[in-house]
A and B are shown apart, each in its own frame.
Chain A
Amino acid sequence: MSFQALPEVTDDTAAFWEGGVDGELQIHRCHRCAIWFHPPAPVCPECLSREVGPATTSGRAVVQAFTVNFQPWAPDMQVPFVLAVVSVDDAPGVQLTTRLIDVDPVSVSVGLPVEVSFLHVEDVYLPLFRPVSAASGNGAVSEEGTS
């Protein structure tokens, strides 16, 4: 068994953590002023409207910063792995910390296009990201998204 911490799921965060069941990356959006925001909250940080809720994104993103972790912080943690902050393409202003998969650490750079790939553990679907492949370069969410 390998290290895997899981988030506490609340009414506010359920769509984000469970959206992967449908292969969808769900990000909160204001129904009144249409801005996207993250982490999810019951109020729009811009116009303070309470009419907010999760909306489906393309699941595509761009690497904004990354690190290659070599240190096993827990005895059952497999290393190395690549962590990144990615900006979600169609949710301006929203960035996610995530782990990149199916990637050679040496090939990661700021600006790398990636797409969501969910890791299903218990009731949670963790939005990991992998480089956009030629096959899925049409903007669709990968069908292998759920695992």
Chain B
Amino acid sequence: MSRYLGQRIGERDAVISGIGRSTVGRKLGRTGLSLTVDAALQAIEDAGLTRDDIDGLSTYPGITTASPGMSPNGVNDVQDALRLRLNWFSGGSETPAQLGAVMNAVAAVSAGLANHVLVFRTVTESSAQTATRRASVVGSGGDRVSGIMQWMVPFHAVSAANWVGMYAQRYMHEFGLTRRQLGEIPLNQRRHAALYDEAIFRDPLTMDDYLNARMISYPLGLYDCDIPCDGSCAVIVSRADATPGLRKVVRIDAIGSALTGRNSWDQRSDLTETAAHDCAKMLWSRTDLTVDDVDTAQLYDGFSFLTITWLEALGFFPKGEAGPWLDDGAARIGLGGEVPLNTNGGQLSGGRLHGYGYLYEACAQLRGEAVGRQVEGAEVAVVGAGGGPLGGCLLLTQDR
């Protein structure tokens, strides 16, 4: 990755100056825009800024109508609702996964196009579900399928549970990972959710519950899949030198936004590696910090197996050794363990905020505000989001 070793690590020009989070829950009966405004105003106030300071706006994946609840709001309606006076804006899905909107904001700030960018992500997937309709199922609309989806959906591989399920199966075949070991991920998240009163599923989950739950797409069962929810998260990305007096700043030490492998779920020669591996290599090439410096990891768990992919890609254990590593369960990834993971319950127990729940939680941890679930002395956090050809990660540090 020597081509990334330039003189300039531009992400350090930017900081996360404020964070906001709406109420998050199941079928809240509120519009996406209402939730977005809650998160956005909270983030602006948290940063010690006013609406008039915001000159940039960024979101992922932009407004979508084909997939109900996936993204009810985009740049247009949020700018208009708040009457933002923007110098720069961006909304779209063709970025390094969900966190791409943060990276775009960082790039804009580093390039001098904006001083304070409001970044948001809103979902109403819970409200979009009905008895006969799942949220976000491609191909259920009747139109012909194009792009990357055409290679999967016509064969009935319509859900990410199917695509991730195949990666998980291959990993199990290759390296002997068991369902019991995989189950350590959802069990861990549920233990953490019990400590966080904003999480959605907080009742205890046992290994028996996990193993006996109905199968969704083998080897992924019910508890390997995250929970559709309604909610919004927002952060403010600010110029590092435009933040005197801002209350709690989180620094961006390095970004991983690479995609050096195939942009595809099925064409990778090694079906146990994904964009996460490309991103992690880039991330570590841009910092003197190492995986041993990470105090807490907030890693995508839209499906439990994706967390394993991120942990492995980032180097928490050698390739193929997820199973034995996870045997230790709480001692590895629990609070007080080696690397406390998804301390807000993740998406598996906290709700699918689609990448932004992890970012919010990492910032809360670094600011020492994770009441009831705080990782003592957390100074470095890694955040990774996405699966398959979608990936992006951030290394965040406490302001020092």
Contacts and interface: CB of A to CB of B under 8 A. Distances in A.
A39 B147 CA distance: 10
Given A8-B146, A74-B158, A97-B152, A64 B137 contact: no
B214 A70 contact: yes
A45 to B, nearest CB: 9
A110 B173 contact: yes
Interface string B21-47: 000000000000000000000000000
Contact of A81 (B150, B156, B216): B156
A6 B154 contact: yes
A130 interface: no
Contacts of A70: 214-218
A110 B169 CA distance: 9
B70 interface: no
B368 to A, nearest CB: 41
Contact of A97 (B137, B161, B168, B266): B266
Interface string B138-182: 111000111000111111111101110111111001000000000
Nearest to A126: B154
Given A8-B146, A126-B155, A128-B155, A38 B267 contact: yes
Contact of A67 (B139, B146, B165, B267): B165
Contact of A8 (B144, B159, B220): B144
Interface in A77-118: 77, 81, 83-85, 93-99, 105, 109-110
B151 to A, nearest CB: 6
Contacts of B264: 39
A57 to B, nearest CB: 16
A4 B154 contact: yes
A95 B267 contact: yes
B148 to A, nearest CB: 8
Given A70-B214, A74-B137, A83 B166 contact: yes
Contacts of A7: 144-146, 150, 153-154
Given A65-B169, A97-B265, 7 more contacts: A65-B271, A67-B218, A68-B217, A73-B158, A74-B134, A83-B162, A95-B267
A-B residue pairs, 7 tightest by C-beta: A5-B139, A67-B165, A65-B170, A7-B150, A8-B144, A65-B166, A68-B218
Interface of B: 132-134, 137-140, 144-146, 150-159, 161-163, 165-170, 173, 214-220, 264-267, 269, 271
27 contacts: A3-B139, A5-B139, A5-B140, A5-B158, A8-B146, A64-B170, A65-B166, A65-B167, A65-B271, A66-B166, A67-B165, A67-B217, A67-B220, A69-B157, A69-B217, A71-B161, A73-B137, A74-B139, A84-B166, A93-B269, A95-B267, A96-B266, A97-B166, A97-B265, A99-B155, A126-B154, A126-B155
